[in-house]
Amino acid sequence: MDLISENLLTILILLPAFGALAVLGHSLYWKDDGHLKWITLGFTVVAFLISLLLLTGTPGSNGFFFEKNIPWIQAIGTNYHVGVDGLSLWLVLLTTFIMPIAVLSSWHAVEKRPAAFYVFLLLLQSAMIGVFVSLDLLVFYLFFEASLVPMFFLIGIWGGENRIYATVKFFIFTAFGSLLMLVGIIALYYLHLEATGAGTFDLLTLLATLEAGKLTFAAPVGTLLFLAFAISFAIKVPVFPFHTWLPDAHTEAPTAGSVILAAVLLKMGTYGLMRFNFPLFPEASRELAPIFIVLAIIGIIYGALVAMVQPDMKRLVAYSSVAHMGFVILGMFSFTEWGMQGALYQMLNHGISTGALFLLVGFIYERRHTRAISEYGGISSVMPLYATFFVFTTMSSIGLPFLNGFVGEFLIMVGMWKSTILSVTDSANWNYIATMAAGTGVIFAAVYLLWMVQRIFFGKLTNEKNRGLKDLTYREIGLMVPLLFLMVYMGVYPKPFLERSRDTVVAIQERVMRQAGGTVDHDEHTAKAK
């Protein structure tokens, strides 16, 4: 047991990779594709169960638990340094939770080269977990890049008709961002080398040096470094105007790909901002926050408006992702405990709700092989259970109170409302105006999602092809139930989630705000009250 808990994160990274080997070996040796999905499912389920052990951890003095720091390439001072804290804990769990669901979602859908499909799926999982637990910039970068490749193939081989275009676009966008980040990482290495005489890629060492004041960034350098990271992450999120790869990638990806893309891959961007950008470059974070806030608000409204007029279900959900991730960005850059906690919570919520929406679209696509909204209408009469699940998930995505989306969005908006980051002038409360503008996204979400629901499910069943549609199978119900359960649970009782992330988030927030001479303003209102 000790062996497991000591190397828990390493096991979580390697287990899926071993799974990939097992799949490969099985398919080469027995030439039998029937068992591959079971093997994959087995590995992902075991990984999920093991990952639950993360909840037993208690943070060490630096806030991390299950930390492991082994020298790797000593010459350049890069270590295999992994650990989880309140920020990454839930994202790792989200990853391990969503993977079995993704596997089950493509239970019958993969006909072409199943072995390769499952290998990529499992490798993707290794990379994703690696991203969330790496505390060494170089190791992080490798995982970050590594996660691209399986997704690239998943879309490129098992995607829809337009898959090549989508893949290339996906790759151009993300590769461009990654290279910028690589430059940033290397620059950091040399700056640290200059300042202290030893180069390092280790995040915690870098932070400690910055904290001690031994390393400071000259005027444009901090901002440029911030941008090198931030653009890379912004593309991943995606922040407007870097979002146009997302609808194409989502639309062309197979269901499992879309689910993972929405649930986990997008979160790497927002996670990266919080993990690296904010602590490393607090001044630049504050300085550039207004730009990101404006982009987030544009994204919220823009994504919603464009989602409204999409004729394709998946494209609609993809654009809704742009809007929802806009909220996450907004909350993070408010630099208040409410906003940042809300942003983190919203990452999880978006993973669950949008993941569920893609699953649901996948279900109907498998039956009718079309995602055009106009092909449907009135199908609640033939698929009542499906309609119920769909409406439920829609409500969660719209942010109905007591479902998960509300708590996140609400905290984000409270955070923005109370944020001091925009108080450039005294003439107007820009933070109020920003929140009010972002708040309209809540209205639009209802418009585009309910309009889709209305056109797909209600009214008369006009298209004869839909008359024979079968309602959900037990497998599909089984996939949805855990997601629906979480939607309710997280909406009604967010405490366990928020409690565990609190210290980490507050530490980041204080780090960003403190150096401005700005105080941390939990209790500002009570002070005002007295």
Partner 1 sequence: MIENNLLAIIIFAPLVGAVINWLVGGRLRNEMFSGVVACGSIAISAIVAFYLAFVADGGALFIDKPVLSHIWTWIDVGGFRADFALGMDRLSAIYVCFITFVGFFIHVFATGYMHGDNGFYRFFAYLNLFMFAMLVLVLADNYLLMFVGWEGVGLCSYLLIGYYTNQDEPRRAAKKAFVMNRIGDWGVLMGIFLIFTLTGSISFYDKSVDGVQVHSVFTWVLENISVAEPFTWGAIIAGGLTSIGVLLFIGATGKSAQIPLLTWLPDAMAGPTPVSALIHAATMVTAGVYLVVRSNAIYQLSPTAMWIIAVVGAATAIFAATIAIAQNDIKKVLAYSTVSQLGFMFLAAGVGAFVVAIFHVMTHAFFKALLFLGSGSVIHGMHHEQDMRKMGNLKKYMPITFITMATGWLAIAGIPIFSGFFSKDEILYKTFAADKYFQGGYFPGNEILWIVAVITAVLTAIYMTRMMIMTFWGKERFHDALPGEEHHDDHTHDDGHTSSHDDDHHHALPHDFKPHESPWVMTVPLIVLAFLSTVGGLIGIPYAMSSLPVVSSIVSKNANHFEHALEPVIAEIETPTAIKARENAASHSPEAVSTERWLALLSTVLAVVGIGIGFALFRNNPLRKMPKILEEKWRLDDLYNGYIVDPLTRLSTNTLWKGFDVGFIDGIVNGIGSFISETSSYMRGIQGGFIRGYAAMIILGALCILGYFVYFGIRLIG
| 104 vs 437, beta carbon nearer partner 1 | 437
Q: How far apart are alpha carbons 183 and 138 in whole angstroms? A: 11
Shorter beta-carbon distance to partner 1: residue 295 or 411: 411
Q: What does the chain come to in residues?
A: 530
Of 100 and 199, which CB lies nearer to partner 1 in the complex structure?
199
For residue 387 the two structure tokens come to 């309609």
Q: Which is nearer to partner 1, 450 or 469 (CB)?
A: 450
The nearest distance, CB 66 to partner 1, in angstroms, is: 26
Smallest distance, partner 1 to C-beta of residue 113, A = 12
| Residue that has been written with the tokens 């926050």 in this structure | 289
- Closest approach of partner 1 to the CB of residue 246, in Å: 10
Nearer residue to partner 1 within complex by CB, 3 or 530: 530
Whether the Cβ atoms of residue 212 and residue 205 lie closer than 8 Å to each other? no
Instruction: Compute CA distances 166 → 79, 226, 238, 310, 373, whole Å.
Output: 35, 29, 15, 17, 21
What sign results for the dihedral spanned by CA atoms 308, 370, 486, 14? negative
Q: Give the CA distances from residue 90 to residues 86, 133, 369, 374, in Å, rounded to whole numbers and listed in that order.
A: 7, 11, 35, 38
Residues 6+ apart with CB under 8 A from 517: none
Three-state DSSP state, 83: strand
d(CA 480, CA 449): 19
CB of 4 to partner 1, least distance (A): 33
Q: How far is the CB of 7 from partner 1 (least distance, A)?
A: 26
Q: Token digits for 332?
A: 């993070």
Kindly list the distances between the CA atom of residue 77 and the CA atoms of 84, 130, 190, 492, in Å, as whole numbers in the listed order.
Answer: 21, 19, 12, 46
Residue closer to partner 1, measured from CB, 167 or 270: 167
Nearer to partner 1 (CB atom), residue 2 or residue 426: 426
Greatest alpha-carbon pair distance for the chain in Å reads 76
Return the number of the residue (113 or 283) whose C-beta is nearest partner 1: 113
- Alpha helices, DSSP H only, in 111-252? 114-133, 137-158, 163-196, 203-212, 219-236, 245-252
Which H or E element spans position 270? Answer: helix 266-272
Tell me how crowded residue 285 is: count the other CB atoms within 10 A of its CB: 27
Of 51 and 431, CB closest to partner 1: 431
Shortest distance, position 196 Cβ to partner 1, whole Å: 13
Q: How far is the CB of 167 from partner 1 (least distance, A)?
A: 6
CB 283 to partner 1: min, Å: 23
Residue (279 or 378) nearer to partner 1, CB: 378
Separation CA 132–CA 139 (nearest Å): 11
* Smallest distance, partner 1 to C-beta of residue 154, A: 12
Cβ-proximal residues to 53 (8 Å cutoff; 6+ apart), any chain: 4, 5, 8
- Per the structure block, which two tokens stand in for 44? 């992902």
Residue (of 399, 421, 371, 381) closest to 490 by Cα position: 399
H/E stretch holding 84: strand 78-84
- Least Å distance, CB 308 to partner 1, is 6
Over its C-alpha atoms, the chain yields an Rg (Å, rounded) of 23
Nearer to partner 1, 48 or 233 (CB): 233
Cβ–Cβ < 8 Å for 69, 134? no
At residue 264, the 3 state secondary structure works out as helix
Least Cβ distance, residue 419 to partner 1 (angstroms): 11
Smallest separation (angstroms) from partner 1 to the CB of 177: 12
Cβ proximity to partner 1, 123 vs 498, nearer residue: 498
